[in-house]
Amino acid sequence: MIDQLTGAPPSSPPEEHPDIRRDSRLTAALVRAYEADGQWRRTPLRALLAAAAAEQPDRVAAIDRMSVAHEARRFTYAELDERAHLYACGLPRWGSAPATSSR
């Protein structure tokens, strides 16, 4: 496998860690440091979004500056959470399935 950024072959496979893909530049030591600092959590993004929507449903979560209406469209956490849920529910119809390990 060739490194996509440098074009060079990877120097060595990463240390074993359940959250690191084989082609990642992360190391197990770096992940452990992120976990220890609270920067890396084992919480799915969907759960984080649902928690933010429950805590602050009316707070702006995202701004779409490329809106068809030619003005910025703002999405609250509640709206973003609802859209994420609807998209996720529709994924199986397009042939998507839960992720499996790339190992």
Q: Is it the case that residue 7 has pLDDT exceeding 60? A: no
pTM recorded for the entire structure: 0.56
| 77 CB burial (10 A radius; 0-12, 13-18, 19+) | buried
Q: Return mean pLDDT, the chain.
A: 77
Backbone angles phi, psi at 61, to 5 degrees: -105, -30
Ordered alpha helix ranges (H), the chain: 28-37, 45-55, 77-90
Classify 36 in phi/psi space as left (phi over 0), alpha (psi -120 to 50) or beta.
Answer: alpha
Which pLDDT band, with edges at 50, 70 and 90, does 69 fall under? low
Q: Is it the case that residue 6 has pLDDT exceeding 50? A: no
- Domain range list for the chain: 1-42, 45-94
